Amino acid sequence: MMDALSVVSQLRDLASEPQNREAIVQDQGCLPGLVLFLDHRSPEVLLATLQTLRYLAELSLNISTMKNELGMMVSLENIVARDELSVDVTDLAKEVYAILSASPERNGRQKPQFFLNSSSKKAKCVTLHIQGLDDTDRRGLCEEALLKVRGVISFTFQMASKRCTVRVRSDLPAESLASAIADTRVLCAKQVVKNHEGDEVLIPLSAAAQSERALPDYLPEEDDEPEKKAAGAVSRPAAATARGGTWLHAAAGFLSRTFYW
């Protein structure tokens, strides 16, 4: 039997893939279930739920549906008002709320800004290249490691390039991320930065810490030209896509059985 954290974590993984976002929001069970998870007692479930919603809100077509979902905006307001929650959770809730509240004047073809367009001046983004990030099991280990680091707000993976963009509080050193990832004993992280010539280089985080003032907060997202992206991307195998679709329906059924009356 899947528990709440397992369900929302897997749903977050599906939502991290752009091609799944519309289907998740249109599904009759998943979006209402996510709203109910916003009232969950577990901070881990809350954070994973907010990360999922943040992914889903990247598709401009989803914003109106999400905003109008019964209880969505009220639940986000309640999270922001809860004093016992960490600033990581409340900051992400504020960000999701702001996106859903914004005037829908954005072009649907705009460049995605997920986790990079920070609504909080107290946050920064760090791009890591993670040696050993080869499959979903290793990705799961990396997620668990990052979630243990106090000050991590959210993260997103680019599996084809073995990268992870981590949004953190501005006072969190990148070394803390590398240390947590190294504790998995199968993964090793370096920071991705651009040198003076504009070329990307990998910096061991011990060295990056020594020259932190010279490093950018984050790298821009990879080239968003559709043709170039399609040529260089590594597609998810058909079997994996099928499993994702199967799980989506299973999750919806679980949410319905658990929460509806």
User: 203 in a domain, yes or no?
Assistant: yes
**Quick one: pLDDT band at residue 195, thresholds 50, 70, 90?**
confident
In the numeric block, which tokens belong to residue 237?
Answer: 């195998």
Beta-ladder partners of 150: none
- Residue 82 sits in the same domain as residue 12: yes
**Terminus-to-terminus CA distance in the chain, angstroms?**
19
- Residue 66 sits in the same domain as residue 127: no
Are 130 and 142 in contact by the 8 Å Cβ rule? The answer is yes
Averaged pLDDT, 236-249: 49
**What domain range includes position 152?**
123-217
> Of 152-156, 179-183, 187-191, which range is least confident?
152-156
Q: How does pLDDT run across 62-101, given as a tens digit for each residue?
A: 999 999 998 999 999 999 988 898 888 898 999 999 999 8
CATH number of the domain enclosing 133:
3.30.70.100
- Residue 202 sits in the same domain as residue 127: yes
Q: Which residue has the higher pLDDT, 227 or 245?
A: 245
- Residue 9 sits in the same domain as residue 97: yes
Q: How does pLDDT run across 114-123, given as a tens digit for each residue?
A: 443 444 446 7
The residue with tokens 């504009």 is 198
Domain count within the chain: 2
**Quick one: pLDDT band at residue 104, thresholds 50, 70, 90?**
low
User: 80 in a domain, yes or no?
Assistant: yes
- Residue 89 sits in the same domain as residue 150: no
Averaged pLDDT, 43-62: 92
- Residue 133 sits in the same domain as residue 212: yes
